[in-house]
A and B are shown apart, each in its own frame.
Chain A
Amino acid sequence: MKKAWLNAKFATGEGGLLIEHGRVLAIGNDVTRDSVGSLTPIVDCAGKVILPGIVDARVFTGEPGTDYRETLATASDAAAAGGVTTMIVMPNTEPAIDDAAMVDYILRRARDTAKVRVYPMGTITKGAKGELISEIGLMKSAGAVAITDGVRSVANANILRRAMMYAKDFDMLVVQHVEEPTLATGVMNNSEASTRLGLSGSHAMAEVMMLERDLRLVEMTKCKYHASQISCAESVEVMRRAKQKGLPVSCGVSIHHLVLNENDIGAYRTFFKLSPPLRSEDDRRALVAGLADGTIDIIVSGHNPQSEDTKRLPFAEAAFGATGLETLMSAALSLFHNDNISLQKLSQAMSEAPAQLLGLEGGKLKIGGAADFIAVDPNRSWLVEPSSLYSRSKNSPFEHRTLEGRVIETVVAGTVIFNYRA
C-alpha cells in the first residue's frame, strides 16, 4: 500500500515522499498531491522537516538482567519518541552479550517487543572483563554488528591487539570506550570545578592516552576501529591526525558532550554524572568544531537508564549515565540553532554515518531504501518532564528544561510508530 508525505522540507530542498511496502518509491519535488494519485493516503507535513530515521550507535538497556532500568520494549518506545528508528544496544547486560546465543536472544526479543530496529554489539572480551577474547566469529554470524566492552575499556594492550587481529579476519568493527581505567578513577572532569566541588577528577589525558595507544594497535593490526565517545579537545586533535595518516578509524561523540559542560553539574546534580565526564566549555567547543569538520563521525545518545536508587545519592556514589534517546534530536537541534551546525550535517552524523559505519541498511532516504524517517519541527519547543518521557528510567539531564525543536512523527518501514501530541 502506498502512502505519501507532502509539503515537507528536507535537509536540503523540499517536496514530498512516497512510500510503498515499507520502502521509498519516490522523493523530492515531483511528489505532489497530483502525482501520487487521489487514492493514496497523504500526510500534510505543513513545512516540517523530513529526515532519515536516527541510527543511534550507543544505547544501553537493562534487558536482560536489570529490567527495572529499561527493557528493549521501553527503550524502543523512548527511541520512537526521539526519532531513533534503529538502536544499537550495548552488550553490558546480565549476562553480557558475549556469545551467539545472547545475540540471538536480543534479536528475537527485539523482534517480539520492540517497535524500532534493534541490533546488538557483542563484547570484545568474555563477560566484558577484559581478559579473554569473545566468540567474535560466531557472534558475527548470529547478527552482532560490532564488538565493544561498552562501558569498559579493554585495558590490556596484548588482549586488545589479539582481539583486533582476530576481529579483522572477520571484518568486525572494534568499538572501544576510551578511558585508561587506572587513571580515570574520578567521578567528574579533573579541573578547577572538581576541586571546587571537592570531587575526585578524571583527567582528559586518561582518554587521550588510551586513544593514542589504541591507534598504535590499529597501525599494528590494520583493524577497523571506532572510539565510542571522545570528550575533549585533545582527542579531536589525535583523531584528526590519525585520519590524516589514513588509518581505518572513526569516532563518536555523545550528544551530551556536545551541548553540556562540567559547569552543568552545578550543585552535585547526578544526572550530569557521565562516563567519560562532561568536560570544559573549551572542550565542548572543540567537539562541535570536530563534528563540523568531519573529524568526529557520528553522534550517539549514549542512552544509559539508571534508576532513582542509583542516582539519588551523593555525587561520588551515584551511578554514571544519562538517558538520551528521547532528547537526542531536540538537543542536536540546539547545535543547529546556537552553533551553526547545519541540519544536513546533524542528520548525516546521526543517521547516514552510523549506518555506513555498522554496515546497516537505512540512514539515508533514497529510492528503494527502507522507509525509516522522521518528521521534525525545528522550532517547536517542549518541556522535558519526567512524566512525559517513555523511558523506564527518568535520569535525563534535560529534566525541567525547555528544548527547542522536536520529533513530531517517527516512521519505521513505512509504519508510523510515534506521533507527537503536545
Chain B
Amino acid sequence: MTKLPERPVFLKSAHLLGVSDLSPLEIPKLLDLADIYVEVNRNADKRHAILSGLTQVNLFFEPSTRTQSSFEIAGKRLGADVMNMAVSTSSVSKGETLLDTAMTINAMHPDFLVVRHQASGAVELLAQKVSCAVINAGDGQHEHPTQALLDALTIRRHFGRLEGLEIAICGDVFHSRVARSNIHMLTKMGAHVRVVGPSTLLPSGIDKFGCTVFHNMKDGLAGADVVMMLRLQLERMSGTFVPSQREYYHFYGLTEEKLKYAKPKALVMHPGPMNRGVEIDSSVADGAQSVIREQVEMGVAVRMAVLDALSRKGHNA
C-alpha cells in the first residue's frame, strides 16, 4: 500500500447535497484531491485503508449502473464496508416511506449514505433525518454534484483551468440534474456556459443562471471549448417535448458536421448512458475529441475525493 500525500481538511458542509453548497474555494481543493486519486487508481496497488471501519450505504431509489458502481468502487478502494441497498426488493417496495427507510438505516449507524432518488429534494430531506454524511447521487431534476465534479475535473485536466472556457451544454436541460449541477459548477468557476436546445427542453428562467441561451447548434457551438451533450429520454422525443428522434437528430444531434462549429480541439462530453444516433453520432462519441470514457474514470477518483473529504469532517467518524 503506497502512502497518500498530505490532504488538508477543507469541506465546510457535513454533506454533499449539491454544487450550490460548495464554495469556489472548496471546489479546486476537491479537484486537487481527486487528481491524487486519479494517480492512485492508475497504480497496480489501488487500495488504501483510510476509510477502514467505516460503513457506506448506497441507497438508490432509481436504477443506476455507472454511478452506483462508481461509488461502490470508490468506497471499497478506500477501505470502507460498502453495502448496496436493493430498493426494488426492500421494504420500500412494500410501501415504507422515505423517512422510515432513512430512520431504519440510520439506526444501523452507517458513516456515509449515498442516495439517488427520483424526487427533487428527497436527498436533502433525508439528510435532515440521519446522523451520517449524505452524498447526493442525483435527486430528480435538481442536482447531481459528483457528476459536475467529475466533469469539471475532466475539463480542468485538459485545459489546466475552468475559468474563461466556453462550454456548451446541449439538449434536454429541462429534465437534467446533470445540466443544473454543471451550470452551477462551471459558472461558479468562471467558465462561460451556453445552453443549447429547443425551447421545449430548456427550463424557464435558465438565462438567469448566468448562461446564454441558444436554440440552434450552429450558433450555440460556435467557438466552444467543450461540447457537453445530455441524454434525451426516448419517451420525450415522440411528440411530447420534441416531435421525433429523426427531427431531434437532424437539428440537435451532435454529428461530425455540427462539431465543426466548435473550436477544432473542443472536448466532447456525455454523462451517459448515450442514445447513439439520436443526441450523438457514434463517430463523435468514439472520435478523437471524445472524453466520454475518461469521464467515467474521473468519476471514481472524484467520488473517492468526496468520501475522503467528508470522512475527515469529524462529523460521525
Contact = CB atoms under 8 A, between A and B. Distances in A.
Interface stretch (B23-31, B53-61, B126-134, B240-248): B240-248
A133 B240 contact: yes
A168 interface: yes
A165 B246 contact: no
A332 to B, nearest CB: 38
Interface string B243-269: 110110011000000000000000000
Interface residues of A, number: 16
Contacts of A125: 239
Contacts of A357: none
A285 interface: no
Interface in A128-146: 131-138
A390 interface: no
A131 B242 CA distance: 12
Interface string A137-168: 11000000000000000000000001001101
Contact of B251 (A133, A137, A162, A165): A137
B215 interface: yes
Nearest to A167: B199
B199 A135 contact: no
A165 B243 contact: no
A169 interface: yes
Interface residues of B, number: 16
B243 A135 contact: yes
A126 interface: yes
A173 to B, nearest CB: 16
A135 B239 CA distance: 8
Interface in B177-221: 198-200, 215-216
B20 interface: no
B276 to A, nearest CB: 21
B243 A136 contact: yes
Contacts of B198: 165-166, 169
Nearest to B243: A135
A137 B200 contact: no
Interface of B: 198-200, 215-216, 238-244, 246-247, 250-251
15 contacts: A126-B239, A126-B243, A131-B239, A133-B200, A133-B239, A135-B246, A136-B243, A137-B247, A137-B250, A138-B247, A138-B250, A162-B240, A166-B200, A168-B199, A169-B198
Given A131-B239, A134-B243, A138-B250, 16 more contacts: A126-B243, A132-B238, A132-B240, A133-B239, A133-B243, A135-B247, A137-B243, A137-B251, A138-B246, A165-B199, A166-B198, A166-B200, A166-B242, A166-B243, A168-B199, A221-B199
